[in-house]
Amino acid sequence: MDKQLIQQCGDELYQALTKKETLRPFTERFDDISIEDAYHISLRMVERRVQAGAKIIGKKIGVTSKAVQNMLNVHQPDFGYLTDDMAFSQGSEMPISDRLIQPKAEGEIAFILKKDLIGPGITNADVLAATECVMPCFEIVDSRIENWQIKIQDTVADNASCGLFVLGDTAISPSQVDLSTCGMVVEKNGQIISTGAGAAALGSPVNCVTWLANTLGEFGIPLKAGEVILSGSLVPLEPVQAGDFMTVSIGGIGSASVRFT
Amino acid sequence: MGNLTKAQIEQLAEHCEKAELEAYEITKITDDFPDMTYEDAFDIQWEIRRRKEARGTKIVGMKMGLTSWAKMAQMGVEHPCYGFLADYFSIPDGGQIKHDELIHPKIEAELAFVTKAPLKGPGIHIGDVLRATDFVMPAVEVIDSRYKDFKFDLKSVIADNSSSSRFVAGGTMAKPEDLDLKNLGVVMEVNGEVVQLGAGAAVLGHPASSVAMLANMLGERGEEIPAGTFIMIGAITAAVQVNKGDSFCVRYQDLGTVSGKFV
C-alpha cells in the first residue's frame, strides 16, 4: 500500500474511534494489505490521537492465546499502543457506552518497567530484570471493524483492537510470583465465568513481553522505563455492556474490578 | 427411595465392576432400568465397593466428579457426584499407567485434600473443611468411564463409581492457610504442550466446597469422611484424552508438579 492510502486508512480508523462508527474490514477492501502495512496504519491512527493531546504510556500485546491465533490463522502475537486516556483506576466506573462500540473484557497481567528494553536479543531474564512490578488488569478491547469481522491485518491496523484498561491496586515484584502457573479467576456480576493461568499467553506472560521487545527492536523502538505493558489475555474474551460489574483475581498478584456504565 | 431390588443392585454392580476390571465398554444402565433412582445408583456403587473390599482390596480415598463447570458442560449433567478410590488405582508420581488396562482414559488436573478430623454432613461448609484439612496436595485423575463413548447420564455414572480408574498424587504438600485455593493456577501439559489451564475456583467456586459437598452427600446415607481421608476434589480443567505413549506434566501454582506416562 502506498503512503497516501495508509494515511487515509489511519484517518478513517481515527474517525471511527472518535465517532464510534465501524468500518468494513480492510482485508475485504484491499486484497494485498500486508501486516507491515497494517502496523503503519495503526501508527497513523495513534499519531492522530497524540496530535489530539493523548500521551503514549505503554503497549499492549494481543493474539497471545492459541485459540485466538488459530481463529486468525497466525502464529505470532500483535501489539498496539496504550494512551493515557485509556487508563482507569481500580473499582472505577468505566463509561463504555460513551467510549466504545462493541467491548469485550480480557483478564491480563500488566508489567510496569523500571528499565528500557531494546531488542533484538532480549531474553526472559532481561524482561524480569527490567520489570518493576506486575499488576492485575482488565483490558476492555473494542473493534472499529464491523462485527469484529477481523483478520490479523484488520486488528493490527486498529491498534490491536485496544479499547480501555483498568489496573488493580496491588503491585508485586516478578520475583514473588510464578507468572506461568499463577491462576486467574474472572467474575461477572457475581458469577465466576472463567478461570485460567499465566501459561495461556504464549506459555508465560514473560514470553509475551520478550517477544514484544524483540519485535519492536527490529523497528528501532524501545520499551521504555515506566511503561505499562499489557501481556495478553489469560481467559476467553467476554462481551460486556453498561450495568455489568467485573472482577479479576490472580493468584499471588491481586485483583482488579470495574463497573461499566 | 430405591426402585430396584437387592438382586438387581447386585447384578448391576457385578455388570459395572466386570467392565471396569476387564476393560470393556457397556451401554448406560439406565437404558435397561429407566426407573432407577439416585439412591439405587449409589447402592450399586457401594455394592461394588463391598465386592472389592471382600476380595481384600483396600479403599484409599474418595473422589468428587463433575464438579467443574467445564466438566458439567462437557458431560451434559447438572450435579456433581462422588466415587471411591481403591488401592490399585494409585500410581506413583512420575510413574507409568498401563493404557491396555483401561478403555478410553482421560486425565484431569485436580487437587487432593487430606483430612485430620472427621467431617459429617449435613451442614458442612467451607470453614469446616478448612479446619479439618491436614494438608492439600496436587493430584491428577485418570478417568475411564466404562460407558461407550463416555455417553452417560448422572445415575449411570454414579453406578460406575463416577468413572474412577487411576490417580497420581505428588508434587508438594501445603497447609490450606498457606494457599490461595480459589486463585491457585494449574497448567496441564501433554507431551510438552500446554493443553488445559485453570484455577481452583473452577471447582464449585472454591476447592474446599467440593469436600463440603462430599461430606453432605455422604451424610445423606449416614456416612462420614473419617480423619486421614484422601479426597480428590474433581477436575479444575476439562478432561483430556490420552493415548499410549503420551506423557503428561501438570504444574501447580505453589504446589510443584505431577507427572506420568501412558505405556
Residue pair A162/A222 in contact (Cβ under 8 Å)? The answer is no
Question: Distance from A235 to chain B by nearest Cα, in Å?
Answer: 9
Mean pLDDT of A118-133: 97
The whole-number pLDDT of residue A9 equals: 98
The whole-number pLDDT of residue B70 equals: 67
The whole-number pLDDT of residue A67 equals: 83
Across the strands, what pairs with A107? A138
Across the strands, what pairs with B247? B261
Per residue in A87-116, pLDDT (tens digit) is: 999 999 999 999 999 999 999 999 999 999
The whole-number pLDDT of residue B151 equals: 85
What percent of chain A stands above pLDDT 90? 95
Q: Select the residue of A178, A192, A196 nearest B197 (Cβ to Cβ).
A: A196
Question: Residues of chain B whose pLDDT is less than 70?
Answer: 70
Nearest in space to B18 (alpha carbons), one of B161, B142, B155: B161
Q: Select the residue of A192, A199, A249 nearest B197 (Cβ to Cβ).
A: A199
Return phi, psi of residue B48, to 5°.
Answer: -65, -40
Mean pLDDT of A182-198: 96
The whole-number pLDDT of residue B32 equals: 94
Which of B68, B172, B197 is best to mutate for the A interface (most A CBs within 10 A)? Answer: B197
**Residue A210 predicted with pLDDT over 70:** yes
The whole-number pLDDT of residue B74 equals: 74
> What is the architecture, at CATH level 2, of domain B58-262?
Alpha-Beta Complex (3.90)
What percent of chain A stands above pLDDT 70? 100
Helix (H, G, I), strand (E, B) or coil at B203: strand
The whole-number pLDDT of residue B245 equals: 98
List chain B domain ranges: 58-262
One-letter amino acid at A104 equals K
One-letter amino acid at A90 equals Q
Whole-number Å distance between alpha carbons of A156 and A50: 18
* H-helix or E-strand spanning residue B132: helix B126-132
The whole-number pLDDT of residue A70 equals: 86
Nearest in space to A10 (alpha carbons), one of A156, A118, A123, A184: A156
* CB-based contacts of A106, cutoff 8 Å, min separation 6: A138, A139, A140, A141, A233, A235, A237, A238
Structural domains present in chain A: 55-260 (3.90.850.10)
Nearest in space to B194 (alpha carbons), one of A62, A198, A203: A203
Taking CB atoms within 8 Å and a gap of at least 24, the contacts of B33-36 are B33/B4, B33/B8, B35/B3, B35/B4, B36/B2, B36/B3, B36/B4, B36/B155, B36/B159
CA B169 from chain centre, in angstroms, equals: 12
Q: Which residues of B touch A250 (CB under 8 A)?
A: 183
Q: Would you tell me which residues 72-91 of chain A have a C-beta closer than 8 angstroms to some C-beta of chain B?
A: none
